Structure 1
Amino acid sequence: MDAGAATDPRAVPRALPWLGLAVAVVLLSLAFSLPHLIGWEVASRAPRNASPDEVPPLHGLWRPKLFGPGTVPAVLIAVLGWRYGADLAQRLSWPRLLAAAYAGSLGWLLSLAFVDGTSGISRVLGNPYEYLRTARDVGSVHQLLETYVSRVPIDSPDNWPTHVAGHPPAALLFFVGLVRVGLGGDFAAGMVVTVLAATTVVAVLVTLRALGAEDAARRAAPFLVLTPAAVFMAVSADALFGAVMAWGLACLALSTRSGRLWWAVPAGLLLGTGVMMSYGMPLMGLVAVAVLVAGRAWRPLPVAAVAALAVVLGFAAFGFSWWEAYPVLHDRYWAGIAKDRPLAYWAWGNIALFTIIAGPLLFSGVLSAAATARDAARRSTSRVVLLLAAAGVLVVVAADASGMSKAEVERIWVPFVPWVTLAYVFLPPRWQRVGLGLQVLTAVVVQHLFYTAW
């Protein structure tokens, strides 16, 4: 039997999806209302950006707009995807499904971004706190790596802008590469990032099929394509990091198949590169372990580990040591905005934000997966999905517990969304249709009501 059995309405208590939806509604209501009702300053935006239109927990502003250039395409993709997405995912051949998933994801990202016109693509990366402006001034890469850590502290003479300081150098080097090949303009770089970010869905589908869960991949495809996280994925460097990690995990999954151990090499190189792009990506090691457990293969582990370590040590050889940089970043973070963001709010406000980007049925999906866990563990396909979704949930819990992601997780946690989204496979069929509708509605409403800052 396969994942289809796990989505049998009899496998999930009737009240469970309703309970999950109620939890999401209450959590979001409290997260949006409490700061305003009791005058709780939670510093969702930095003081320099303080505005009466702030909408914590979002790092954004209340800026309703009825219509933009991308509105019609976004609504069209939403309606057609909701109506026909699940059926197409079942009927298309595998190569055509991958092509359709990529095209749908790219169209969804671009249409939502273009609700704000071309600035929806160029605005974010043109921000002085992002990577591009710094990338344009980089001369020697070797010198950059040698001086990188010394420029992280906020009181250093030539300190890095916020996003550059907050990430290992591979993130900046990606944009340095774009500049040097002539794609360093705000709009051009934004398009490149969006085109790459849209490949994430393909990587996740490849991962599932490589682990013998093609049926689950087909069921999950509409949710992965029409994710509310798309609002924050277009032009977001964090979505780029997520794509790199997703492809690393896809290669790792391929390496678990007989005779394909060599896939562990690109898996390690990609995962190592992801670690050198974001300090949060080591947490994705939990998903990597889940992939190996699901694939019932441990031989790829040492190969992938050596390849990943080669990337990390390669940066160290040229002057940047991850283990030296992280404590310095920790000090800068807690000397800055973090000290003004109360953990009493953000410990659960972060989860409210994750509910926005993962979809209103997040808790319904997780509860449904938990309810069918014992039965699903005995079925190979269901076991694969359960392991990956559970690992995704653990990653989010660990990131929240770290205290290094207070606010702005609608962007920072984008790489975790696809893996948690797999829990939707365990929803009863009727709720899957409802969930997909709520996902697209959330994305369209958020894009049209708020200036999201990303």
Structure 2
Amino acid sequence: MALALIGVAALVGGLLYLAGHPVQASSAPFYAHWAPHLGPGTPLAVLIAGLVIWHGQALATRLSWRSLLVAGYGTAVVWTLSLALVDGWQRGLAGRLTTQPEYLHEVPGVTDVPAMLRGFAARILDFQPDSWTTHVSGHPPGALLVFVGLDRVGLGGGGWAAMVCVLVGAAAAVAVPETVRLLGGGSASDATEAARAAVPFAVLFPGAVWVGASADGLFAGLAAVGVMLLARGLTRRAPVAAFCGGVLLAFALYLSYGLTLLAPVVLAVVFLARRWRPLVLAALGGGVVIAAFTASGFWWWDGYQLVVERYYQGVASHRSYGYWVWANLAAVVASAGLAAAPILRRAVLARPVTAERLLPIAALVAILAADVSGLSKAEVERIWLPFAVWFAAGAVLLPPRSRRGWLIVQAAMALLVNHLLLTSW
């Protein structure tokens, strides 16, 4: 059914185009161009997929937990880079964030950061001489600050920006399994088994196609680490982790307005941890970030209201809600991978409530809320990466004998998308 959804969305999108009602996405439901191709990353991507498929599960059970996380993170980085390099270094990585709508276009003009923050909201709306470019205007100033900061420390340009997105985005492959382990489920051995089962699926994440290289990949990795630190702070005597988790989750709100919808995942962590006192430290950490941005002259709510107006000044006003409200789900199926479908089915039907069941359900709630809002029509295979990474948390719900088959399906999805389509990220 999940696969059929992608096919139906593609068929209907094509028929609407022929009927003179284009859905404003060249290869709907994907924001991409049909362009079958191979590239320098193709052999490496196939090799990494094969190694994870045939050896990933065995290594996940044999390695020490720390060694497994190190190996998982390294493999996720190489998997993401290999997929990006299918399009070549310049087209697949270095040039992704340097186009006119992207963040790096505005970096040279930021000569005074405090002044930029004070005047940020005034430049959100379109059709002004100094309007921000599409991606800068569509996000709070934290996203632009990241790339300005990279430039200031000597890591300017598209290559460095893309590499940072990959390196931070791949952290989700560590953060998601570690969160499952921390939150537990039944006995400690059950929690460890669930966490270990999640690692190969978090590593071979089909959404890596869009992690390398998009700022949303960076958002996904940073937010996942924030959730993981919160889980550590709530389940262990780790006040620093709780504080830092609050800092990262609050900063995520200043990277993307849509990350407010990470709330179901955060609430799931709090519910499963059943400890409240460390939340004070997390709230304190988040409060520091909010106070800093507010004192600098940027009020989040004003920015959000202006972004909603800007959203309908652009192509969003020409994208049909009637099509995208369900075609969005087809796009996110490709990003999360088809394995998300049986994981969700089992998560909904199974008992008791554990991390591997509740985290995927929380991610689904976030996605449905974003979908119904109408503020994400198309491009969600990239925009919803921070939610899609959490479906891997439920990998243990798949029957052990079927997991290798599902890993093949996950890898095939990423490889097919990246070799048949020329994605914009």
Distance 2:76 2:127 in 1: 42
Say whether the 8 Å CA contact 2:24–2:319 is kept in structure 1: yes
Distance 1:42 1:366 in 2: 32
1:142 aligns with 2:114: yes
SS in 2 for 1:156: coil
SS in 2 for 1:159: coil
1:43 aligns with 2:14: no
SS in 2 for 1:451: strand
Alignment correspondent of 1:323: 301
What pairs up with 1:274-423 in 2 under 5 angstroms?
A: 274-372=252-350, 374=351, 376-377=352-353, 383-423=354-394
Shift of 1:37: 2.6
Say whether the 8 Å CA contact 2:85–2:93 is kept in structure 1: yes
Structure 1 stretch 256-265 or stretch 395-404: which is displaced more?
256-265
What pairs up with 1:46-445 in 2 under 5 angstroms?
A: 54-65=26-37, 67-119=38-90, 120-212=92-184, 213-372=191-350, 374=351, 376-377=352-353, 383-445=354-416
Gaps of 5+ in 1: 1-22, 46-53, 378-382
1:296-344 CA distances to partner (integer Å, 9 max, x unpaired)? 2122223212321221221111110001111111011012211111111
Say whether the 8 Å CA contact 1:386–1:423 is kept in structure 2: yes
The one-letter code matched in structure 2 to 1:205 is P
The one-letter code matched in structure 1 to 2:139 is H
1:336-390 CA distances to partner (integer Å, 9 max, x unpaired)? 2111111111011110001001112322221122221x3x33xxxxx12112111
The one-letter code matched in structure 2 to 1:226 is L
Shift of 1:258: 4.3
Distance 1:346 1:302 in 2: 40
1:450 aligns with 2:421: yes
The one-letter code matched in structure 2 to 1:183 is L
The one-letter code matched in structure 2 to 1:179 is D
Say whether the 8 Å CA contact 1:44–1:57 is kept in structure 2: no
Distance 1:287 1:339 in 2: 30
Q: Tell me the TM-score normalized by structure 2.
A: 0.95
SS in 2 for 1:224: helix
- Count how many residue pairs are aligned between Structure 1 and Structure 2: 416
Distance 1:425 1:151 in 2: 47
Measured on the aligned residues, the alpha-carbon RMSD in Å equals 1.3
Shift of 1:42: 4.2
1:239-278 CA distances to partner (integer Å, 9 max, x unpaired)? 1111111111111111112432342110111111111100
Gaps of 5+ in 2: 185-190
Q: Tell me the TM-score normalized by structure 1.
A: 0.89
Say whether the 8 Å CA contact 1:254–1:260 is kept in structure 2: yes
Alignment correspondent of 1:380: none
Shift of 1:428: 1.9
SS in 2 for 1:61: strand
Distance 1:401 1:304 in 2: 30
Shift of 1:406: 0.6
The one-letter code matched in structure 1 to 2:280 is P
Say whether the 8 Å CA contact 1:71–1:111 is kept in structure 2: yes
Distance 2:236 2:398 in 1: 32
SS in 1 for 2:257: coil
SS in 1 for 2:9: helix
SS in 2 for 1:335: coil
